[in-house]
Amino acid sequence: MTKAEQLEAVAILVPADFNDHAVGRIERTFRRVGIERADPALVTEEMRRTVRGIASFAGIGAAMMDALPNLELIASFGVGYDSVDVGHARAKNIMVTNTPDVLTEEVADTAIGLLINTVRDLPRAETWLRDGSWAKKGNYPLSRLTLRARRVGIFGMGRIGQAIARRLEAFGLPIAYHNRRRVEGLSFQYHDTLKGLAEAVDTLISVAPGGASTQKAVNAEILSALGANGVFVNIGRGSTVDEAALAAALADGTIAAAGLDVFADEPNVPKALLDLPNASLLPHVGSASEHTRRAMADLCVDNLVSWFSDRRPLTPVPETAHVKARP
């Protein structure tokens, strides 16, 4: 039997809607099994017997893994994988992969665009032109904020954080960062606490991953430390922010403005944030270009192909990097 024939016999579960390009490749390479959502109650006896891989946007919890005793690999679409119970996957010898690198530059571009939108109020200025206010009322009011003379702090200096920092260097802005640990080879000022970083800067960009360790890390205390001229941008995970505290800080002038691409309960955005004129809000579009999503889809499927043909992953997450393919 050829490798191609071997792959055709492998059942890959694809819960809910998935990237069309990835679905097409899976259907041409494996035996795709569709399911309405990643719910163990929907797993059939045939799925229990045959499914060896999952390709998914959605979170995969412990119960879903337990429902599939022959599961070997979860190919998560995206760089963040906090919605996958990686601890349970590790305990059950299940490989988890994600799609890093291929979306780094796109997300960094979006972060810079969101920062400029937030500081210079560009979306509202465009609306001023489109609704005829420019012709009827004259020039759009001067923006209260500017990037000039700002000091930027980055919360989460991984691949995307470093790509954002490179762009900000070209703007001539000083950069500092907070991470779980100092990053070797970086000359930017390091702060060992998030509060220390917020106190040292007036512009805080969060690229931090989700999970228990970062849950509501950006809270009232951090926003107060950022100060009245402060600007907060989140391109990482909505769960890292206390959204009620952020809305209050924007409303009472604790900070000046915020730009958000991610939210705690997507697609539900708190009305308190929607009502604020000093919040620039995007519907989680950080990596949402056709070019980048296709590259993410290819890497997601390439991990499946590599695992089931060569018995190795291309981009394992650190927590399951040690997992070996079953004989």
Active site residue 21: no
Catalytic: which of 150, 237, 243, 293? Answer: 237
266 catalytic? Reply is: yes
Question: Catalytic one among 88, 182, 284, 294?
Answer: 284
Whole-angstrom CA distances from 291 to 67, 90, 213 are 35, 32, 32
Q: Which pair of tokens denotes residue 290? A: 């056709």
Say how far apart CA 197 and CA 180 lie, in whole Å.
13
**Phi, psi for 99 (deg, rounded to 5):** -125, 70
From the CB of residue 27, how many other CB atoms can be counted at a distance below 10 Å?
A: 12
Active-site residue, 284 included:
yes
List 266, 291, 322, 326, catalytic entry: 266
Q: Which residues pair with 152 in a beta bridge?
A: 175, 203
- Determine the Cα angle at 218 with ends 161 and 159, to 5°: 10
225: its two tokens = 């430390």
* Encoded tokens for 37: 């959502």
Catalytic residues: 237, 266, 284
